[in-house]
Structure formats: structure tokens, C-alpha cells
Amino acid sequence: MVGDKLFEENPTLYAFLPLFYMVWADAVLTPSEITRIKKLLEKQQWLTPEEKTFLLSFLNPTSPPSPNQLKSWLKEIKKTSDYLSPEMKSSLVEIGIKLAKVNSRSGTEETINNARKPLEDIEKALGVVSRESAYHFNSLVKRTTEEVGTSSVDHNEINKILDGEDAEIIRKVKTLLQDPVFEYYKGESIHEYREQVLEWCKLLAQQGLGGIAFPKSYGGQGDMRKYFIVMETLAYHDISMVIKFGVQFGLWGMSVMFLGTEKHHKKYLKDIGSLKLPGCFAMTETGHGSNVRGIQTTATYDHNSKTITIHTPTKDDGKEYIGNAALHGQMATVFAKLIIDDTDYGVNAFVVPLRDAKGKTVKGVTIEDCGRKMGLNGVDNGKIFFDQVQIPLENMLDKFGSINEKGEFASPIASDNRRFFTMLGTLVGGRIGVPKAGLSAAKSGLSIAIRYSNQRRQFGPEGGEEMVILNYRTHQRRLMPLLANAYALHFALDYVTQRFLKRSDDDIQEIEALAAGIKAYSTWNTTHTLQECREACGGKGYLSENRIDTLKADTDIFTTFEGDNTVLMQLVAKSRLSEFKQEFSDINFFGIINYLTDQAKITLTEMNPIIIRNTDEDHLLDSDFHLNAFRYRERDILSSAAKRLKHYIDQGMDSFDAFNQCQYHLFNVGVAYIESVIMEQFVLKVKSLEEGNSKNVLKKLCDLYALATIEKNKGWYLEHDYMEGAKTKAIRRMVNKLVREVRQDAIPLVNAFKIPESCLAAPIVTRI
């Protein structure tokens, strides 16, 4: 059937057929390799010269077999394949020998065995490539890569752990979002989109969600915690809606609530909560974003008329990016420098009308549309310029600073700056709402990408079914640590929320730093997660219908607004420096540094022989090891930053420059601190759970967060002799193991977010 009499005369020659097939089939063989095979053949004593010439003719590059010839060889080879055990199928030699035997007459056993040695030599020379090509011949090989059995994890149980005491309000919001009126806007018109988003916000206000944090006397529930949960849950839907919601009820509403006094509450809060009075929060100026203390808009008080005049000195001082400004806002909380008799009393807040009820801008107010943005195009951001706009004195939000009857400025806080930062401090809730909304977007992205990757098949063993892409190790490496991050941040944000709600004067500084740090860390994680999700879904991830596009574009600005992340991390670091000062208040600054350094040295010395090279699985998965490693890093980076700062200052550098010199270092102080907080909270959460499958899988996620983070920072740990190379390598292997294991439960773990299908709305996963 292979069509030559020599094969019939000496069936042993059949043993070479798989090899010849391979030469002309997929595996790339170079000319020098073909030469090598020729040489090996020529050495064989048991072949006749005629047979050698015949065999060599199969290797002639100038006369390759025809496609049909190649197909007939394959057909021949495959016949034998059924007689072979799976192990034998992975060897070209075994296949060849078997083929020869099948075609042989009796008594040729020895001749056939003669072929084994040269075949083995050739196979060795080809190495891995030959092994791989052997799979051409196997149509029924059983694969070991179908690794997903039935997960023992109950997504309902995990969902309960996630939702906790907030389950009821979460359920309410999710139910609401599934109403057909919340169908996504799919048109091209920004104008229509903005009106749709306003409409949605009105519906939410009707349900009492807008003013949920406002006092009961003004139509609210006085429940700040619920407000955060509402933000977080709404963020499974259109993010423009969440931001518009946050602008109206969080920024505009809460600036009146926290910076104003009873007269303002009475006058505005109810109408804000019902969205009868849409408003803005006008702080940022073109010239001053991060350095908001430097804003230039003026509010000049005239004691005769008891009025305040709001004015934008130059174009660069216009209020920019102001949500609700371009179209819908009727009033705004405007931040401006209060001037009384030519004296500047720092930044204060004022309620300023922008438009009448019909939408016409009032005299002196000019508003420009910010136009199309990367995302959040359902929010009407605008620029506002004030040309000598007069407001009555009562419009000053006077909780922290007021003008008395003598026309003098009065405040319980003497320093302008400290007063301003106290005012900002009351608004720090935005730094909790934003990362919570961002985390929800990341959860949506992970739900889409992980569910898709669990269906999408691509490549597979020759002759076998294609494999779901979530079974590929690189895919697991990309997505599973991000799933662990989502869980880690869920618990960490919950912790920060609780701390925020229970804050007092004693810990407010710590909590502000916590909120700043978690906002930065979490929103960067959202950007990173959604980028990976987009890529993990390939071309499907690029189609807008699958929503990763929008999730990503809408949340991209989260790393900038409510505080630029890089700037926030510096704040965290500065707070950490002064917090230590507090913790050791009876030793001086030098002492603190020495103390920290000594601490570090002692810890290191203690564990040196045992820990730094311990690669036992028990140890690597021990939460105490994780916590120690995170805390050690945090302390060491902090004390070395303090030392460097001191060094520069001692050299005569001024502090602004010294801080700039250490800026990258300080940035890492912030990150290390936040990672340490996240780690602690995750460990505490897992410890608090009842034994069972849910606890086990969350412990695995916790371990994955811990070890993937340590792996990310392994350069640092090795530099500081905290670990040896053998240990960091063992950690890498453990991360590989954990991503494989977590992958087994990945579907229930994303289902546990219970994101309504109508919100996910990605045809790649919801159409099935």
C-alpha cells in the first residue's frame, strides 16, 4: 500500500516510516538534521545498499513526497496506533517497530529489532520535537489537561460572606437594576446618553437611595454605610450613572451636609436627595488639581451689602471637570479663597447658583462643556467661570468658618490650611466610594473574562479536543492572582469603611491615610485587572458589546480623581512618618529611626537560620509567615525612608527638595503599608470563618494574594536577605500551584459576586 516492492520484501523498513512522515510533516527539520539522519542510515550494516538508497530517497529535499503520498503514510501508521498503549504512543521508535511487526512475516523478529538502535539514535538527536510529532499518529490519546471536576465550593455561601450584614440593601439595589428601565444605552449620541443617565439617577432618588446618608428629618436614613454599599452595587451597572449619582448625592449633597449648618440643610438637603435640585461640587481648577489648596477663585466679602462676590481671576482659574455642570447643575458648592478687607482667609465653600430652573445660566456664570472623554460620557462635565457673581452671606457654608456680625472671619480652627484640610477630611468618603465602585467594575471584568475563558477552546493535543483557555498556565497566571486581589480588596475596603464610620479625632489622621492609600492601590488594581481581562478575552474583549471596553474606559480616571494616586501614596507615606512619631512619642526622631532599625535587625537575626531558607509547604502557606514578611518590609522601607530624609535634611537640603529626592522611596512606603493592611484584614477574615469548603477556598485566595505579592516584591526581599533564592523560587512554584488550584473553583468564585446577568450583559458569557 505504500507502494514499493522493497517494503514488501523487507517489512522492517516500515519501521522508518513514522520518521519519514515526521521529516515532511509539521516538525521543522533543518538541512543539517536531515544530513545527520542520512549519516546514521548509511552506517547501518544490516541494510542492503539498495535498501539504503531507497530509504535515502525519502529524504531528498528536491523530490518531496506529494501531499497524497504523505496522507497515505499517515493512514498506514495510524492503523498500528490502535494496538499501542498510551505510553508507547509517545515514541516514534515504538510506533515504527510496531508498524514493522504488523507488516512482517514470521521469523523477522531479529531484523526488526536491529532497526531499534538507529531509530533510537535518531529520536535522541531530535529530542523534544520528535516526541511532540509522535502525537500526529494518535487520534485517541487521553489528555490530562481537562483538570476541572466539580468544584465543592458553594457560591451562595461565599456570597453570604461577601455581602454580610449588607445583604438586604445589596439585594434591593440589584433587583432594581434588573428592571427593564435600566437597559444599557447603546446609541451614539452623547446628549441622549447624558439624559438617560440623569433619568436613571432620578429613578434611584425616587427609591430613596440618593439621600440615604442624609438625616431622617430631610428625607434620608442617616445611614452612611448604606450609601457606600449603594455606590458599590450600582457600579455593577453603568459607571456614568454611579458617578453622576456620586456627584449629586455624595459631593454636592454631602458638601452641604458636612460643610454647611442647619440653615443650609433645611433649605437644600431634601431637594438634593430627591434630585429636584441638581448641583455640582466645584473645587478643582484648571491650574490646581492635586494642589487644591492653591486654587485662585476668590470670594470677596462686602460688609455693607453683606454679600460675597465669587470671581474667576484668569482663564486658568476656571473650575474644570465639574460633573453635572455642562447641562444639569442648578447650583454648586464652590471652593474659593475668602477675602475680607484684602486679607486672605484661605479656601472656604459657598453655595452659588449656576442656572435657573429652566436651565438658563445665571448672570456672570459661563459654562463650557468638557466634551468627549475617554469614558464616563454619560456625565456632563463642564468648566465654570465666574464673573463677579454676587451671593448673599448666608450662602457661605459656615460649619468651619463664618463671618460674624462685625464682618470678621471666625473659626474654631486658627490655621487656614488646617481648616481647609479639616473640611476636606469630612469629604474623605469619596475616597471610599470610588475604590468600591472600581472594585465592582473589576469584579464584572473578572466575571466576564473567567467565565469566557472557561468556555473558549483554543489549541489542544493533536487529535484531541481543543482545551478551554483557562486551563493554560499563563492564562491562570494572569487571571487568578487578580481574582485573589478582588477578594482581598473587598475585605480591606470593608475594613476601611468600618474604620471611617467609627472615626474619632484620635484616629482620623490614620483613617485619612488608610482611605487615601486604599483608594490608590485599589483603583490601580482595577485598571490593571480590566486590562488583563480585555486581553484575556482577545478580539471579543475589544468589542464594545462585551463591556470590558466601557468598564475600563469609565474607571480609568479613578486613578486620578478624588486625588491623583501618586500624590495620595505620598500622603500615606508622610502620615506613616508622623504616625511613628506618635507611636513613640517619648523618644525623639533619631531615636525612632534607631529603634526601627534595631527592631529590624533583631527580627532578622532571630529568624536568619530558620526562616530565610525554609521552603516547607506548611511554612510557605502559614499566614504568620505572610504577615511577618509584609510587616517587616513595611517597617524597613519606612525606617530607611526616614533615614534618607534625615540625611538629606542634615546635609542642608530643604525639606521640599528632600522629600522630592526620596519621592520614589516614599511611594513604596505607601504601597508597602497598604499591602500590609490588606494582608492583615484578609487573614483576620479567613480566621473568623467556620471550618468548611468556603473557608478553605478563601484561605487559598488569601495565600495567593500573600505569595503573589511577595513574589512581586521578591527583589526587595532578596536584596534585604530576608529570603534566600531557594525560598523565592519555592514561592514561585507555590504561586504556580495555587493558581492551578484556585482555577478549579474560579467559576463559583466569580458567581459568588452575584452580578445580575442583565448588568454583566456581555454576549460572550450571557448568551449561553
For residues 389 and 513, which CB has a smaller minimum distance to its own copies in the complex?
Answer: 513
Q: Are 697 and 747 in contact (CB under 8 A)?
A: no
C-alpha grid cell, residue 243: 458617578
- Candidates 143, 564, 553; CA nearest to 376 is 553
Radius of gyration of the CA atoms of the chain, in A:
34
Is residue 661 a contact point for its own copies (CB under 8 A)?
yes
Nearest approach, Cβ of residue 524 and its own copies (Å): 9
Q: Are 663 and 617 in contact (CB under 8 A)?
A: no
Is residue 57 a contact point for its own copies (CB under 8 A)?
no
Residue of 43, 216, 363, 418 interacting with its own copies (CB under 8 A): 418
At 542, which helix (H) or strand (E)? helix 538-542
Is residue 475 a contact point for its own copies (CB under 8 A)?
yes
Is residue 667 a contact point for its own copies (CB under 8 A)?
yes
Residues 6+ apart with CB under 8 A from 504: none
C-alpha grid cell, residue 148: 476541572
Q: What residues from 64 to 123 belong to the interface with its own copies (CB under 8 A)?
A: 64-71, 87, 90
- CA torsion sign for 5, 8, 14, 16 is negative
Q: Nearest 5 degrees, angle CA 54-CA 56-CA 61?
A: 125
Residue of 179, 654, 692, 757 interacting with its own copies (CB under 8 A): 654
Nearest approach, Cβ of residue 338 and its own copies (Å): 10
For residues 203 and 604, which CB has a smaller minimum distance to its own copies in the complex?
Answer: 604
For residues 211 and 378, which CB has a smaller minimum distance to its own copies in the complex?
Answer: 378
Nearest approach, Cβ of residue 284 and its own copies (Å): 7
Span interacting with its own copies, options 27-35, 49-57, 254-262, 674-682, rule CB under 8 A? 27-35
- Angle at which helices 508-536 and 430-453 cross, to 10°: 20
Is residue 562 a contact point for its own copies (CB under 8 A)?
no
Q: What residues from 294 to 313 belong to the interface with its own copies (CB under 8 A)?
A: 294
For residues 143 and 360, which CB has a smaller minimum distance to its own copies in the complex?
Answer: 143
- Candidates 436, 674, 430; CA nearest to 571 is 674
Residues 6+ apart with CB under 8 A from 3: 72
Q: Nearest 5 degrees, angle CA 460-CA 473-CA 157?
A: 110
Cα–chain center distance at 576: 25
Q: How many angstroms separate the CA atoms of 28 and 126, rounded?
A: 10
Q: What number of other Cβ atoms are within 10 A of residue 688's Cβ?
A: 9
Span interacting with its own copies, options 58-66, 92-100, 227-235, 244-252, rule CB under 8 A? 58-66
Is residue 56 a contact point for its own copies (CB under 8 A)?
no
Q: How far is CA 430 from CA 1, 243, 283, 512, 572, in A?
A: 78, 11, 14, 11, 16
Q: Concatenated DSSP letters for 699-723? A: HHHHHHHHHHHHHHTHHHHHHTTSS
Nearest approach, Cβ of residue 216 and its own copies (Å): 32
Nearest approach, Cβ of residue 170 and its own copies (Å): 30
Q: Site size for its own copies, by CB under 8 A?
A: 142
For residues 26 and 42, which CB has a smaller minimum distance to its own copies in the complex?
Answer: 26
Residue of 6, 653, 684, 689 interacting with its own copies (CB under 8 A): 653
Q: Are 653 and 496 in contact (CB under 8 A)?
A: no
For residues 167 and 410, which CB has a smaller minimum distance to its own copies in the complex?
Answer: 410
Residue of 222, 313, 692, 715 interacting with its own copies (CB under 8 A): 715
Is residue 559 a contact point for its own copies (CB under 8 A)?
yes
For residues 111 and 660, which CB has a smaller minimum distance to its own copies in the complex?
Answer: 660
For residues 170 and 666, which CB has a smaller minimum distance to its own copies in the complex?
Answer: 666
Is residue 388 a contact point for its own copies (CB under 8 A)?
no
For residues 432 and 662, which CB has a smaller minimum distance to its own copies in the complex?
Answer: 662
Is residue 38 a contact point for its own copies (CB under 8 A)?
no
Residue of 307, 461, 684, 699 interacting with its own copies (CB under 8 A): 461
For residues 294 and 313, which CB has a smaller minimum distance to its own copies in the complex?
Answer: 294
Q: What residues from 262 to 291 belong to the interface with its own copies (CB under 8 A)?
A: 284, 288-291
Nearest approach, Cβ of residue 555 and its own copies (Å): 11
C-alpha grid cell, residue 516: 487615601
- Angle at which helices 473-501 and 663-688 cross, to 10°: 90
- Angle at which helices 623-650 and 693-712 cross, to 10°: 30
Is residue 409 a contact point for its own copies (CB under 8 A)?
yes
Q: What residues from 245 to 264 belong to the interface with its own copies (CB under 8 A)?
A: none
Is residue 372 a contact point for its own copies (CB under 8 A)?
yes
Q: How many angstroms separate the CA atoms of 58 and 64, rounded?
A: 7
Name the β-bridge partners of 338: 299
Nearest approach, Cβ of residue 550 and its own copies (Å): 9
Q: Are 672 and 663 in contact (CB under 8 A)?
A: no
Residue of 102, 374, 617, 757 interacting with its own copies (CB under 8 A): 374
Q: How many angstroms separate the CA atoms of 1 and 15, rounded?
A: 15
Is residue 718 a contact point for its own copies (CB under 8 A)?
yes
Is residue 736 a contact point for its own copies (CB under 8 A)?
yes
Residue of 129, 148, 501, 612 interacting with its own copies (CB under 8 A): 129
Is residue 719 a contact point for its own copies (CB under 8 A)?
yes
For residues 70 and 627, which CB has a smaller minimum distance to its own copies in the complex?
Answer: 70
The residue to which cell 452595587 is assigned: 233
Nearest approach, Cβ of residue 474 and its own copies (Å): 5
Residues 6+ apart with CB under 8 A from 617: 734
Is residue 515 a contact point for its own copies (CB under 8 A)?
no
Nearest approach, Cβ of residue 527 and its own copies (Å): 7
Residue of 42, 544, 601, 692 interacting with its own copies (CB under 8 A): 544
For residues 220 and 670, which CB has a smaller minimum distance to its own copies in the complex?
Answer: 670
Give the number of C-alpha atoms closer than 13 A to the C-alpha of residue 482, restricted to the C-beta side.
28
Residues 6+ apart with CB under 8 A from 16: 55, 58, 96, 115, 119
Q: How many angstroms separate the CA atoms of 102 and 14, rounded?
A: 9
At 751, which helix (H) or strand (E)? helix 746-751
Q: Are 442 and 486 in contact (CB under 8 A)?
A: yes
- What is residue 762's three-state secondary structure? coil
For residues 195 and 462, which CB has a smaller minimum distance to its own copies in the complex?
Answer: 462
Span interacting with its own copies, options 175-183, 185-193, 601-609, 677-685, rule CB under 8 A? 185-193
Residue of 24, 184, 258, 595 interacting with its own copies (CB under 8 A): 24
Is residue 532 a contact point for its own copies (CB under 8 A)?
no
For residues 317 and 556, which CB has a smaller minimum distance to its own copies in the complex?
Answer: 556
Residue type, 678: I
Q: Which H, E and C letters describe 309-322, residue by residue?
A: EEECCCHHHCEEEE
Residue of 4, 48, 83, 124 interacting with its own copies (CB under 8 A): 124
Q: What residues from 210 to 229 belong to the interface with its own copies (CB under 8 A)?
A: none
